[in-house]
Amino acid sequence: MKSNTITQENIKMLMEIFYEKIRRDEKLGPIFNNAIGTSNQQWEEHKIKIGNFWSGILLGQGSYNGQPLKKHLDLPHFPEEFFEIWLKLFEESLSKIYNEEIKSIILQRAQMIASHFKNILYRNKESR
């Protein structure tokens, strides 16, 4: 049965499912492996960190300490369309855990974040 509430536990589950998809994706996997590393330990640390990010956004709790936009700005240039792949994989992952109402709430937040990042990263393509 899909969850109708957001909890620390199902955010952790979301990170597991989502990042497994990311690691296997032919386009996103190499970018993430390059940025995070290839060891399971590095990925576990990343999942915890991003899980804390989402806990802060969705539950108002969590110990996220970082600058996600800066991390994306520091990455080698990648096609803007990769955000759509990211969102598709995120939505697929949400569908495995949450009911439609909760999925919609979280997906809307993810879309807003992606839109903001795209605006910053690609607003002036010539400068990158």
Q: 82-114, pLDDT tens digit by residue? A: 999 999 999 999 999 999 999 999 999 999 999
What is the Cα 15 distance to its own chain's centre? 8
Q: Tokens at residue 112, please?
A: 């807003």
Q: 18-56, pLDDT tens digit by residue? A: 999 999 999 999 999 999 999 999 999 999 999 999 999
- pTM for this entry: 0.90
Q: Spell out the domains of the chain, with CATH numbers in brackets.
A: 8-127 (1.10.490.10)
